[in-house]
Amino acid sequence: MALAISLILIVLGAIIFHWLSPWWLTPIASNWQAMDDALMITLVICAALFIIIHLFVAYALLKFRHREGHRAAAESHNRKLEWWLIGATSLGIIAMLAPGLHVYAKLIDPPANAAVFEVMGKQWDWHYRLPGKDGKLGATDVRFINATNPFGINPGDPTGQDDVLVDGNEMHIPLNQPVKVLLRAQDVLHDYYVPQFRTRMNMVPGLVTHFWLTPTQAGRFEVLCAQLCGVGHSNMRSAVVVEEQAAYDAWLAKQPTFSGRGAEGGIGGPAEPGKQGRLIASSKGCIACHSVDGAPSVGPTWKGLFGKQEALEGGATIAVDEAYLKQAINDPKATVVKGYPNIMPPNPLTDEELAAMIDYIKTVR
């Protein structure tokens, strides 16, 4: 009795929960409404089965519960019924699979005129690259990857010189234009996931994967890494901004190119104090845990760090000077700032990189 009632309550509870649930699909911001439709078809069919079988079992529990003098029927099978059920189930399966595969065929077939941009993922940040005016992305190789060249662009390749290397980790794309997103990874598996876009794909070192969409809603959308990539996995954050063509063009014009002004092979664009250190901090993943705007994060913020008195675990205080920073970067376990976990992975820098980093940290006020 209690179980029959529970099963009925589970059905009712599920239906009510579904109706009232504040947790549902994010508003779709791409052309893949058909994926949501396929989800709904699947949901309706599965929900129907869930409800029917639960109610059937609840009814059976009530009607056929053990009572004095009651005995079970001696039946053992019913071929006709079983085959009928197999047939009905198969129809239900086809009803779900057909729309699903129909959408899939479109998902894997990017239009020829889609614009292209490339995402390079690494532990634990994102870098974005666009083909420049020549419409081609420069050739890359792992051996060219270094702190200032996270994409590994071959400096000898002319088509790479005008590649746009997006400054920072916020990407912009124009509204209502199909775009094919090329995905690469420098070290481990990552996944470029924007829930509002629906489609996404893993990023695999050694491969270039892709997916495509047409963004249909303007706005700023969070990018999440959706393939476990180490301890910084949940801190690997980025954003994509969808905007009108004019605003997009304005943004694009401000982005540096690979050649730009500056050292050969270096990231182009206007020089600024601490720039080298900033690029290193970005490419080595430091900014995954250390903010520069004062926001609390996994590690201490760098805003106002240089010169302050820092409280350490164990009660001591220390003045944050160059020596302290050198040690904190190259031997993080030696001292731990009070209130922070002792989890900074070792990430040794060369002396030049160290000097550039310290210069940068000095500029963060």
Instruction: Give the footprint of another protein on residues 327-346 (CB under 8 A).
Output: 341-343, 345-346
Applying the rule CB under 8 A, the residues between 274 and 293 that interact with another protein are 283-285
Concatenated DSSP letters for 288-351? Answer: GT--SSS---SS---TT-TT-EEEBTTS-EEE--HHHHHHHHH-TTS--BTTS-S-PPP----H
Phi/psi of residue 267, nearest 5 degrees: -70, 125
- Single residue of 97, 252, 263, 316 touching another protein by CB under 8 A: 97
Tokens of 269: 């664009």
363 is an interface residue for another protein by CB under 8 A: no
Shortest spacing between CB 56 and another protein, in angstroms: 6
State how beta strands 190-193 and 219-225 pair.
antiparallel
Q: How far is the CB of 37 from another protein (least distance, A)?
A: 10
Under 8 Å between Cβ of 324 and 343:
no
Residue 6 is a binding residue for another protein (CB under 8 A): yes
Cα angle value 222/227/229 (rounded, 5°): 105
Q: What is the largest CA-CA distance in the chain?
A: 95
Interacting span for another protein (CB under 8 A) from 66-74, 168-176, 259-267, 320-328: 66-74
173, 179, 182, 203: residue in contact with another protein (rule CB under 8 A): 203
Q: Is residue 23 a contact point for another protein (CB under 8 A)? A: yes
Query: Token digits for 181?
Result: 């997103």
Q: Which of 5, 15, 16, 25 binds another protein (CB under 8 A)?
A: 25
Q: How far apart are CA 337 and CA 300, in angstroms?
A: 8
> Contacts with another protein in 114-153 (CB under 8 A)?
122-124, 142-143, 145-147, 152
Query: Tokens representing 13?
Result: 């509870």
Please work out the total of residues on this chain that contact another protein, with binding judged by CB under 8 A.
110
CB of 61 to another protein, least distance (A): 6
- Cβ 354 to another protein shortest distance, Å: 12
Q: Does 73 bind another protein (CB under 8 A)?
A: yes
The answer to whether 33 and 76 are in contact (CB under 8 A) is: no
Q: Which stretch binds another protein (CB under 8 A): 86-94, 244-252, 262-270, 312-320?
A: 86-94
Contact range with another protein by CB under 8 A, out of 126-134, 199-207, 306-314, 321-329: 199-207
Provide, rounded to whole angstroms, the least separation between the CB of residue 147 and another protein.
7
Does 232 contact another protein by CB under 8 A? Answer: yes
Rounded Cα distance between 51 and 8, Å, is 9
Q: DSSP letters of 137-155? A: PPPB-GGG-BTTBTT-B-T
Q: Which stretch binds another protein (CB under 8 A): 92-100, 163-171, 243-251, 252-260?
A: 92-100
Near another protein in 244-263, by CB under 8 A: none
Of residues 293 through 312, those in contact with another protein by CB under 8 A are 298
Distances from the Cα of 89 to the Cα of 50, 96, 192, angstroms? 13, 11, 36
Only one of the segments 171-179, 222-230, 271-279, 318-326 lies at the binding site for another protein (rule: CB under 8 A); that segment is 222-230
